[in-house]
């Protein structure tokens, strides 16, 4: 690149016309034109003035290949998501490996057991890799729901057992009542955490949003009735369900976990509708 080409390039990069550059340097526009076409060479004092004006060294202007000052390399910024992806990969790998081994060693029973205790690893690992918002909240749900399915399936206990606390006796096994209260406390804590996490959410109380909230509340209250209706075709004349115990237990556990998740959604949406309604009233 010739000296004239460098001057022309730097002038255009600075947004100057030939006349404006000439006025700045105290020369005629024709002189600047001759410099840029290599018809003439600026005097030394003009070269110094050009280097200062364009922010380059005299050597870069006259001799160097590049006309722009060298930019210092910015230090590499740490990737904030790298650690999360690493943790996610480890969790996902452990979960999938455990699922495979327990299924191969234990068959169907091993698969069910691994789904309850290793599914949280798979779900939390996937959430970490997806870099979702509210990671802690969703991981808590990913841990709790499979456990609720398993313990409900294994013991037949749900949080509804707490309703019989005033009439509970030692013959009914206080440990079962304790498990019921633990389930209720965990459900209440997760529901409160979800509502708090979405405390900034405001929904306009439109018919669709209100209807969705009503559907969620109805589903949370009637899910056990729906379970009974689904099992009704498999009951004999004495009302005994003729299905494998594993299937019945899984269905019961799924109903318990589904009720918890739906109830949390209903509470969160209802609070968002209340906040949205207040906002419109204040306006």
The structure tokens listed for 223 are: 């899910």
Tokens standing for 250? 């899984």
- One pLDDT digit (tens) per residue for the chain, 283 residues: 788 888 888 888 878 888 888 878 888 888 888 888 888 888 888 888 888 888 888 777 777 554 444 444 455 556 656 788 888 899 999 989 988 888 888 777 777 777 778 888 999 999 888 878 888 999 999 999 888 888 888 788 888 889 899 988 888 888 989 988 988 998 899 999 999 998 888 888 889 989 999 999 999 888 888 877 777 776 666 666 666 767 777 888 888 888 899 999 999 999 999 988 875 554 4
Place of tokens 């018809």: 39
How many Å apart are CA 250 and CA 142, to the nearest integer?
Answer: 17
Cα distance between residue 113 and residue 119, in whole Å = 9
Tell me 241's DSSP state: B
Question: Which letter, b or e, does each residue of 141-173 get, where b requires 16 or more Cβ atoms within 10 Å of its Cβ?
Answer: bbbbbbbbbbbbbebebbbebbeeeeeeeeeee
Non-local (6+) Cβ contacts of 162 within 8 A are 177, 180, 181, 184
d(CA 211, CA 266): 11
- Decide yes or no: CATH 1.10.260.40 for domain 3-62: yes
CA distance 175 to 182: 10
CB 261 within 8 A of CB 141: yes
């Amino acid at each position: 690149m010739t000296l004239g080409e460098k001057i022309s390039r730097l002038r255009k990069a600075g947004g100057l016309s030939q006349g404006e550059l000439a006025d700045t340097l105290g020369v005629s526009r024709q002189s600047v034109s001759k410099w840029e076409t290599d018809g003439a060479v600026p005097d030394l004092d003009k070269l110094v003035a050009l280097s200062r004006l364009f922010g380059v060294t005299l050597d870069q202007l006259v001799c160097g290949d590049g006309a722009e000052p060298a930019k210092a390399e910015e230090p590499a910024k740490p990737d904030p998501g790298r650690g999360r992806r690493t943790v996610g990969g480890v969790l996902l790998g452990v979960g999938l490996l455990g699922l495979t081994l327990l299924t191969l060693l234990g068959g169907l029973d091993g698969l069910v057991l691994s789904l309850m205790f290793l599914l949280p690893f798979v779900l939390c690992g996937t959430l970490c890799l997806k870099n979702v918002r509210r990671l802690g909240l969703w991981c808590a749900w990913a841990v709790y729901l499979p456990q609720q399915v398993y313990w409900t399936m294994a013991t037949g206990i749900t949080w509804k057992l707490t309703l019989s606390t005033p009439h509970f006796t030692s013959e009914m096994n206080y440990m079962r009542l304790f498990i019921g209260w633990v389930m209720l406390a965990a459900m209440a804590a997760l529901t409160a955490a979800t509502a708090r996490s979405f405390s900034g959410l405001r929904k306009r109380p439109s018919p669709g949003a209100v209807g969705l909230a009503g559907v969620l509340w109805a589903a949370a209250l009637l899910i056990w009735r729906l379970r009974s209706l689904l099992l009704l075709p498999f009951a004999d004349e004495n009302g005994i369900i003729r299905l494998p115990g594993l299937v019945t237990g899984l269905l019961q556990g799924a109903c318990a976990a589904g009720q918890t998740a739906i109830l949390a959604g209903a509470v969160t949406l209802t609070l968002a509708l209340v906040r949205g309604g207040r906002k419109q009233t204040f306006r």
